[in-house]
Amino acid sequence: MARLPLDVRLEADGKAVVRVKGMTRRAIIRSAPVIDLSRKRSRGEAPVVYFDGALSPELRRLGEGKTYLIYTWGCQMNMHDAETMAGILELMGFRPTEVEEEADVILLNTCAIRENAEDKVFGELGRLKTLKAEKPGLVLGLAGCMAQEEGVVARILAEYPHVDLVFGTHNIHRLPVLLRDALLGKEMVVEVWNMEGEIVERLPKRRQGGLKAWVNISYGCDEFCTYCIVPYTRGKERSRPPEEILAEIRDLARQGYKEVTLLGQNVNAYGKDFQTRRYTFADLLRDVRRIDIPWVRFTTSHPRDFDADTIEALALGGNLVEHVHLPVQSGSDRILKRMNRKYTRAGYLELVRALRDRIPGVSLTTDLIVGFPGETEADFEATLSLVEEVGYDAAFTFIYSPREGTPAAKMPDDTPLSVKKARLAALNERIARIAYEKQKTLVGKTLEVLVEGPSKKDPGVLTARTRTNKIVHLAGGQELVGRFVRARITQARTWTLYGEVVDQKAPALV
């Protein structure tokens, strides 16, 4: 067992007695997260193993007549992990439910990126305590990035003993066994791996909707931006074998999916860990382009690793849509350096120019952090001017949130929260103004869109997306859902376009 942050004594029966914050708890702790270990990186290529779908009859029947519910926070990677958890649970005989009171298993698949994401989860755990008291047979599990944090596991043991199961991002495939132990035993079961282990292929997935699918291309991150928890919660960067990715996408195409999004914490570093072959992200894009899947997106890009060959691959077009999410984080070189982003403002702008040159009409979106430790008014002004210079179609903006164990959490930070909030508001206002200007240029144009379904706010209206991922509201019948149509844009708002269908058959195929 790895060194634990907790005071743990093993009993003869293999169970553990944990002393945490002066309290004693009995738990089954197989392994728990330790920040110093999750920082480490092993060398070489990650071995690949195949998920053994042939569960023992005991595990296969465990969920018969039972239901599950998964709550997920965070990024698309995490949403996709929830689809894997659901796939595994269904293999075990569980069925989904949306009614909390009916669920036999509730999993909270968590995000650790900012403190407010974590606060929400602790709030939910507190709320679910009543349900657990009324229904002692309920298995309440904590999964995802928060489970990979040393401090979180200690807090769960000390303050949330009604939690039955804690597992992390590296051992989702162990869910059948862990769930059995949690269902049959009385103690909390904790198994969180510090190191990533093998790449597990052929995991079952229960995807939602049937139109758009996420496909992992790599796991983990080796960038170590100083503010970011992800390299600790998701481990070393590991690329899936291209054959597996391509086979999965071909299969999705056969099933009638219209769009795939390739997922990685840093897609541009795809393949850099391969030892026995040379195969890059650009190679992957060229190969995916040959598959008969109408649209292909990818996220997230790191400006430092975005190379010229990738731009050339994207310039081929076809099913590779013209949208790049390119997080910049700050427009100030001083702050970029303190963030360990490894590019400069000028280098980033050069990349933007190259993308615009080679991919006409490319839409650019970004992530920005305000109030990083030591950010001055001049640094913030540099961010505003960069936003202006690039002219983003949209951006996600955040106030810096210190994360335990990351280098930035130790940097002095004397900017008051009120100033950070004012900067965020000013930035959002600037971004919205630019986005609206961009939207207005589309009025009168006819665009190819994929109709996704009824609008959330008004079920009488359809929601569709352009190749550049912009939302378009259209009038039209249910029969258009899942189809590509051509729509004339009639009106623009900051984040929504309005249009009318002009042709029910758009040539969305390669």
Chain residues that interact with ligand 5AD, rule: CB under 6 A:
113-114, 227-228, 327, 329, 367, 369, 398, 400-401, 403
What is the smallest separation between the CB atom of 24 and ligand SF4, expressed in angstroms? 31
In this chain, which residue has its C-beta nearest to ligand SF4?
A: 74
Q: Which is nearer to ligand SF4, 138 or 221 (CB)?
A: 221
Q: Which is nearer to ligand 5AD, 344 or 455 (CB)?
A: 344
Give all strands of the β-sheet with 212-216 in edge-to-edge order.
212-216, 259-263, 295-299
Q: Tell which one of 38, 233, 280, 439 touches ligand SF4 (CB under 6 A).
A: 233
Dihedral sign, Cα of residue 166, residue 170, residue 176, residue 180: negative
Q: Which is nearer to ligand 5AD, 160 or 400 (CB)?
A: 400
Q: Which is nearer to ligand 5AD, 141 or 371 (CB)?
A: 371
For ligand SF4, which stretch binds (CB under 6 A), given 170-178, 225-233, 284-292, 378-386? 225-233
Structure tokens, 465: 């997306």
Q: How far apart are CA 245 and CA 52, in angstroms?
A: 18
Q: Which is nearer to ligand SF4, 143 or 293 (CB)?
A: 143
DSSP code per residue over 220-235: ------TT--HHHHS-
What is the smallest separation between the CB atom of 216 and ligand SF4, expressed in angstroms? 12
- Are 32 and 5 within 8 A, CB to CB? yes
Structure tokens, 343: 């590019």
What is the smallest separation between the CB atom of 77 and ligand SF4, expressed in angstroms? 5
Q: Tell which one of 35, 48, 75, 349 touches ligand SF4 (CB under 6 A).
A: 75
Report the residue count for the chain: 510
- Verify binding: residue 336, ligand SF4, rule CB under 6 A: no
Q: Which does 33 bind (CB under 5 to 8 A by kind): ligand 5AD, ligand SF4, none?
A: none
C-beta atoms surrounding 427 within 10 Å: 18
Q: Which of residues 385-404 bind ligand SF4 (CB under 6 A)?
A: none
Residue 305, CB-side half-sphere exposure with 13 Å CA sphere: 19
Q: Do the annotations mark residue 221 as ligand-binding?
A: yes
Rounded to the nearest angstrom, the gap between the alpha carbon of residue 137 and the centroid of all alpha carbons in its chain is 31
Opening angle at CA 359, ends 383 and 381, nearest 5: 5
Q: Tell which one of 4, 103, 112, 311 touches ligand SF4 (CB under 6 A).
A: 112
CB-count burial class (<10 Å; 0-12, 13-18, 19+) for 196: buried
- Backbone φ and ψ for 200, nearest 5 degrees, come out as -100, 115
What is the smallest separation between the CB atom of 48 and ligand 5AD, expressed in angstroms? 27
Dihedral sign, Cα of residue 87, residue 90, residue 92, residue 98: positive
Q: How far apart are CA 286 and CA 284, in angstroms?
A: 5
C-beta atoms surrounding 344 within 10 Å: 14
- Verify binding: residue 111, ligand SF4, rule CB under 6 A: yes
What is the smallest separation between the CB atom of 388 and ligand SF4, expressed in angstroms? 27
- Are 336 and 372 within 8 A, CB to CB? no
Q: Which is nearer to ligand SF4, 78 or 226 (CB)?
A: 78
Maximum C-alpha span of the chain: 75
What is the smallest separation between the CB atom of 112 and ligand SF4, expressed in angstroms? 4
- Are 237 and 283 within 8 A, CB to CB? no
In this chain, which residue has its C-beta nearest to ligand 5AD?
A: 367
What is the smallest separation between the CB atom of 401 and ligand 5AD, expressed in angstroms? 4
What is the smallest separation between the CB atom of 229 and ligand SF4, expressed in angstroms? 6
- Verify binding: residue 77, ligand SF4, rule CB under 6 A: yes
Q: Tell which one of 225, 229, 284, 487 touches ligand SF4 (CB under 6 A).
A: 229
Q: How far apart are CA 300 and CA 200, in angstroms?
A: 21
Q: Which does 369 bind (CB under 5 to 8 A by kind): ligand 5AD, ligand SF4, none?
A: ligand 5AD
Distances, alpha carbon 445 to alpha carbons 10, 262, 487, 496, 502, in Å = 69, 29, 8, 15, 11
Q: Which of residues 131-170 bind ligand SF4 (CB under 6 A)?
A: 144-145
For the chain, the 3-state helix, strand and coil shares in percent, each to the nearest 5, are 35, 25, 40
Q: How far apart are CA 310 and CA 371, in angstroms?
A: 32
Distances, alpha carbon 131 to alpha carbons 96, 122, 134, 203, in Å = 18, 15, 5, 31
Q: Which is nearer to ligand 5AD, 266 or 463 (CB)?
A: 266
Q: Which does 78 bind (CB under 5 to 8 A by kind): ligand 5AD, ligand SF4, none?
A: ligand SF4
Q: Do the annotations mark residue 111 as ligand-binding?
A: yes
Q: Which does 109 bind (CB under 5 to 8 A by kind): ligand SF4, ligand 5AD, none?
A: none
Q: Do the annotations mark residue 145 as ligand-binding?
A: yes
DSSP code per residue over 418-429: HHHHHHHHHHHH
Q: Which is nearer to ligand SF4, 108 or 394 (CB)?
A: 108
Residues near ligand SF4 (CB under 6 A), total:
13
Q: Tell which one of 80, 234, 302, 467 touches ligand SF4 (CB under 6 A).
A: 234
Binding residue numbers for [4Fe-4S] cluster: 75, 111, 145, 221, 225, 228
Residues binding ligand SF4 (CB under 6 A): 74-75, 77-78, 111-113, 144-145, 229-230, 233-234
Binding positions are: 75, 111, 145, 221, 225, 228
